[in-house]
Amino acid sequence: MVELSEANAQFIAERFKALGDPMRLRLLQALRAGERSVGELAERTGGGQANVSKHLQVLLQQGYVDRRKEGTTSWYRITDPEVFTMCNLVCGGLEEELGRKRKLLRRR
Amino acid sequence: MVELSEANAQFIAERFKALGDPMRLRLLQALRAGERSVGELAERTGGGQANVSKHLQVLLQQGYVDRRKEGTTSWYRITDPEVFTMCNLVCGGLEEELGRKRKLLRRR
DNA sequence: CCACTATATTACCACATAGTCATGGAGCAG
DNA sequence: CTGCTCCATGACTATGTGGTAATATAGTGG
């Protein structure tokens, strides 16, 4: 494992932070099926064009997605499906969380 | 895998966001060896007491750490070592990133 | 009760971020 | 060239976040 120096903590935190936004997660989800243009992604996620474009820059900079330009349209795609492994890991935590909440509700 | 509904995207994003801060990553790293008190963590991470305490609340609320009170001191510990699996995954990305940067530097 | 220690919480400030609107640039059809 | 489409970027605002200092809470020993 990479040593968690101060500089590395900064890098790793930024990688996590890039995944810490619902819109960006939905973008990744939408890209799961394959390459998509910005317009398609805006439509599928229900976000504004500018907003989607900016979020894609974040994912691009962190290397989660890749871009291919064709004419005036930009095609984005997942670079490393490993990102979904991480989603599954936190989803595990999510299921526990939901279980905990269901318990709490039952207790009342 | 959990369906990525709007509500779930929110939950998952918050779990990622909790890991998206250098101080919180250093706290988890410091807890890797075992249980630690807030004071110990403040000393090891070089953070202020109030700040460390607040970050620990975030990790606690997201279920990454657990707390045990003994007298006036609170002992925190990792609840699920799975979190380090995630760190290793993003560290993989980090190594690629560093590799990319080294290449860029060599190119000059 | 008093002082001391350890932690949590509050108030506050500086700064970052998400969202939207408007604009700019670049390809493409006519 | 003109107009159109698609995307990126900048300005702006509202909201969120990290850090710190001060205060509150609570246990402990005298």
Domains and CATH numbers, chain A: 6-80 (1.10.10.10)
Measured from the Cβ of residue A59, the count of other Cβ atoms closer than 10 Å reads 23
- The Cα B34–Cα B22 span in angstroms is 19
Measured from the Cβ of residue B2, the count of other Cβ atoms closer than 10 Å reads 15
Once rounded to an integer, what is the mean pLDDT over residues A23-32?
A: 96
- Greater confidence, B27 or A96? B27
Once rounded to an integer, what is the mean pLDDT over residues B40-62?
A: 97
Cα–Cα nearest to B67, from B41, B44, B86, B47: B41
Cα–Cα nearest to B99, from A67, A11, A84, A77: A11
What share of chain B in percent tops pLDDT 70? 77
Residue B107 pLDDT class (50, 70, 90 cuts):
very low
Q: What mean pLDDT value characterizes chain A?
A: 86
Q: Tell me: the pLDDT tens digits for B4-43?
A: 666 688 999 999 999 999 999 999 999 999 999 999 999 9
- From chain B, the residues in CB contact with A24 under 8 A are 13
Mark the nucleotides of strand C covered by protein, meaning any atom under 7 Å from a CB: 5-10, 17-23, 25-28
- Greater confidence, B54 or B94? B54
Residue A19 pLDDT class (50, 70, 90 cuts):
very high
Interface confidence: ipTM more than 0.90: no
Evaluate if residue A12 carries a pLDDT over 50.
yes
Evaluate if residue B86 carries a pLDDT over 50.
yes
Segment 37-76 of chain A within 8 Å of chain B by CB: 62-63
Q: Tell whether A5 lies on the interface with B, counting CB pairs under 8 A.
A: no
